């Protein structure tokens, strides 16, 4: 293959097509638990998260609630993958392995939001949310007296599993999309890198981050995943109120489990009948999300 402007442009077009095909084919599980927002700067600030919305009966004058400024900030990270193709490989038409490689890049790029969302969930007990506490914590301030409130349970008996209320317009996990994955390739023979190394560079870039919205919508447990621990977590969520004592109406819709808890989740929520034949009251109570990146 002679290296000309036309052949290089054809390569770039072909590789971009493979990259985009990889993005399209990438499985994504984060959608039900994540709200995606656009980003236009390095760091975004979310000042509306201090007040969980509850519709109240109108008695007397309207009660004006100001959105408490908690200054939750989420900084975007940059991601890249870069590879050089030597001009000799182009001349010799030795490019057979590059198309699937680029498609694989696209698949990884398409799964980036998925990866970041579940990484945020897994690190929620170590990363702060809008109230300054870790997203999963035992002493979130709640109510007029800032009482310590927990959205964690268990004694490390099993790997963590996560209950989430994804019925609200704002989901528990926040994905901040600064730059969607894009593919580029150097096709200028006069480029300094090409001149020095004989390599035509190609690669992909993306920018984004994942964080949290309301901690009240999530619960982390390391108790054995069974009816007892699930009922306890449900009761804790149902007891959550706002500063005026009004119930928040949290009801879990999804459970996120890693490989070690898949069987227990399927047994608890996926079987219509228990081992003794009686009906399973928790059958299909929540949707199961099996996250390969979790233990």
Distance CA 227, CA 79 (A): 41
Q: Are 253 and 167 in contact (CB under 8 A)?
A: yes
For the cut 60, the answer to whether the pLDDT of residue 5 exceeds it is yes
Strand order in the sheet with 77-86: 34-38, 173-185, 199-212, 77-86
63 CB-near residues (< 8 Å, 6+ apart)? 56
Q: Where are the alpha helices (DSSP H) in the chain?
A: 5-25, 87-91, 98-110, 112-122, 192-197, 227-238, 262-270
Assess if residue 84 is contained within a domain: yes
Report the residue count for the chain: 295
Per-residue confidence at 160, pLDDT binned at 50, 70, 90? very high
Per-residue confidence at 234, pLDDT binned at 50, 70, 90? very high
The single residue listed with the structure tokens 């709640």 is 142
Assess if residue 59 is contained within a domain: no
Instruction: For residues 222-226, give the mean pLDDT.
Output: 98
What residues does 141 pair with on adjacent strands? 148
Assess if residue 58 is contained within a domain: no
Q: Are 145 and 180 in contact (CB under 8 A)?
A: no
The single residue listed with the structure tokens 């493979």 is 18
Burial of 49 (0-12, 13-18, 19+ CB in 10 A): buried
For the cut 50, the answer to whether the pLDDT of residue 64 exceeds it is no
Distance CA 124, CA 119 (A): 8
Assess if residue 112 is contained within a domain: yes
What residues does 140 pair with on adjacent strands? 149
* pLDDT given at position 158: 98
- 108-155: per-residue pLDDT in tens? 999 999 999 999 999 999 999 998 999 999 999 887 778 899 999 999
Between 15 and 55, residue with greater pLDDT: 15
249 CB-near residues (< 8 Å, 6+ apart)? 54
CA 137 to chain centre: 19
Per-residue confidence at 3, pLDDT binned at 50, 70, 90? confident
Assess if residue 63 is contained within a domain: no
Assess if residue 244 is contained within a domain: yes
Per-residue confidence at 96, pLDDT binned at 50, 70, 90? confident
For the cut 90, the answer to whether the pLDDT of residue 214 exceeds it is yes
For the cut 80, the answer to whether the pLDDT of residue 97 exceeds it is yes
Tokens standing for residue 57: 């009966």
**How would you label 114-141 residue by residue, b for 16+ Cβ within 10 Å and e otherwise?**
bbbbbebbbebbebbbbbebbbbbeebe
**Three-state DSSP state, 149:** strand
For the cut 80, the answer to whether the pLDDT of residue 90 exceeds it is yes
- Other C-beta atoms within 10 Å of 165: how many? 22
For the cut 80, the answer to whether the pLDDT of residue 55 exceeds it is no
Mean pLDDT check: name the lowest of 55-64, 126-135, 154-163, 273-282: 55-64
For the cut 60, the answer to whether the pLDDT of residue 67 exceeds it is no
Instruction: For residues 173-186, give the mean pLDDT.
Output: 96
* pLDDT given at position 204: 94
For the cut 90, the answer to whether the pLDDT of residue 283 exceeds it is yes
Assess if residue 61 is contained within a domain: no
Q: Helix/strand/coil (H, E, C) string of 152-179?
A: EECCCCCCCEEEECCCCCCCCEEEEEEE
Mean pLDDT check: name the lowest of 39-53, 57-71, 128-142, 156-170: 57-71
Nearest to 241 by CA among 136, 142, 154, 130: 142
* pLDDT given at position 56: 56
Average of per-residue pLDDT values in the chain: 90
Per-residue confidence at 63, pLDDT binned at 50, 70, 90? low
Between 127 and 92, residue with greater pLDDT: 127
Assess if residue 155 is contained within a domain: yes
H or E stretch including 36? strand 34-38
Tokens standing for residue 286: 């929540």
* pLDDT given at position 292: 85
Domain count, the chain: 1
Instruction: For residues 250-262, give the mean pLDDT.
Output: 97
* pLDDT given at position 66: 45
Containing domain of residue 133, as a range?
5-51+71-290
For the cut 50, the answer to whether the pLDDT of residue 183 exceeds it is yes
């Amino acid at each position: 293959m002679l290296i000309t402007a036309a052949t290089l442009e054809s390569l770039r077009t072909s590789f971009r097509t493979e990259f985009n095909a990889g993005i399209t084919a990438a499985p994504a599980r984060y959608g039900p638990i994540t709200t995606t927002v656009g980003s236009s700067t390095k760091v975004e600030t979310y000042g509306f998260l201090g007040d969980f919305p509850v519709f109240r009966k109108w008695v007397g004058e309207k009660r004006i609630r100001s959105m408490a400024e908690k200054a939750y900030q989420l900084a975007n990270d940059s991601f890249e993958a870069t590879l050089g193709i030597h001009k000799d490989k182009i001349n010799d038409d030795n490019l057979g392995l590059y198309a699937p490689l680029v498609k694989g890049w696209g698949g990884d790029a398409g799964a980036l939001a998925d990866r970041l969302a579940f990484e945020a969930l897994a690190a929620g007990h170590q990363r702060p949310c809008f109230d300054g506490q870790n997203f999963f914590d035992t002493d979130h301030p709640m109510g007029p007296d800032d009482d310590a409130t927990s959205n964690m349970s268990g004694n490390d008996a099993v790997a963590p599993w996560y209950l989430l209320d994804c019925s609200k317009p704002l989901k528990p996990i926040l994905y901040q999309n600064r730059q969607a994955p894009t593919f580029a390739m150097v096709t200028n023979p006069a480029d300094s890198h090409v001149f020095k190394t004989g390599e035509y560079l190609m690669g992909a870039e993306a920018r984004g981050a994942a964080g949290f919205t309301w901690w009240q919508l999530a619960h982390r447990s390391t108790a054995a995943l069974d009816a007892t621990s699930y009922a306890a977590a449900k009761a804790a969520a149902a007891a959550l109120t706002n500063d005026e004592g009004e119930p928040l109406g949290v009801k879990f819709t999804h459970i996120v489990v890693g490989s070690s808890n898949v069987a227990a989740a399927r047994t608890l929520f996926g079987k219509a009948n228990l081992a003794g034949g009686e009906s399973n009251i928790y059958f299909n109570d929540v949707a199961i999300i099996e996250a390969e990146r979790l233990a």
